[in-house]
Amino acid sequence: MRSLAAAVVSRRAARVATHAESLVWISAKNRTTGAVESIGFWTGADHRVFSIGGQSRTYYGAGSLLEIPTIEASIGLEVRNITLGLSAISPEVEIALRGYECRFAPVQIHRAEYDDNGNLLAEPERIFKGWANSAPIVTPPIDGASRASLEVVSNARALTRYGALTKSDQFQRLRSGDRFRRYSTLTQSADIYWGQDRHRARDSTTTSRYVPTPPRHTDNSL
């Protein structure tokens, strides 16, 4: 069950207007050094530092994050896909998408809520966690509009991965004498004989044929 701060719960219970901003945090691999580095964007008007999980994170604003769809809290194992609209002319966005390997990079989305005076109610709440699937940048023609986006998928996608080694003989062997799955790799090519002798079925070259029995005539004249 999701745990919310008391100030957020109290304000929501009062059913008053609440100003909220969205924060996106990306941890991608630097194409030059290979090191994993993080960068953040948010829908606010200027750059700001937020404390999340005891860590200070710098989020770049001023239009870097232009569009973010509505994220609904739901129960289930459905893989959710979200497309974030980014500013293609923002230098921070260009560095993030061109200078880093964003594919399969961990992505977190938080929600920051404020009171009527613009004060942050509590630490931003995480509403999405997953990976970046793609980060296309569209270079427009003359007098056209450039577009950049970040397509992310939820963590439920990890459940669709197939573990190739989980059933292998080498992976399942705890001791040298364990040979329970010795022939597991050959089962797909093995012939299965149901209800018949294996050697007779293999050597048999004839097929059985059904011969109907002629009907028996009875004399009903007596």
DSSP for 65-94, written as a single string: EEE--------S-PPPEEEEEE-TT-HHHH
Question: How many separate domains does the chain show?
Answer: 2
Ramachandran assignment for 66, one of left (phi > 0), alpha (psi -120 to 50 degrees), beta (any other): alpha
Note whether residue 40 is domain-resident: yes
pLDDT at 219: 56
Note whether residue 116 is domain-resident: yes
Phi, psi at residue 160, to the nearest 5°?
-90, -5
Q: Are residues 47 and 94 in the same domain?
A: yes
What's the chain's Rg over C-alpha atoms?
32
Q: Are residues 147 and 50 in the same domain?
A: yes
Ramachandran assignment for 116, one of left (phi > 0), alpha (psi -120 to 50 degrees), beta (any other): alpha
User: CB of 80 within 8 A of CB of 154?
Assistant: yes
Note whether residue 94 is domain-resident: yes
Note whether residue 221 is domain-resident: no
Q: Which tokens in the block code for residue 25?
A: 């945090």
pLDDT along the chain (222 residues), means of 10: 80 85 93 91 90 93 79 80 86 88 92 89 92 85 82 84 63 73 66 64 51 55 48
Predicted structure pTM score = 0.68
Per DSSP, 187 falls in state G
- Its domain, for residue 13, covers 6-160
Query: Three-state DSSP class for 186?
Result: helix
Q: Are residues 197 and 93 in the same domain?
A: no
Q: Are residues 45 and 127 in the same domain?
A: yes
Note whether residue 177 is domain-resident: yes
Q: Are residues 156 and 75 in the same domain?
A: yes
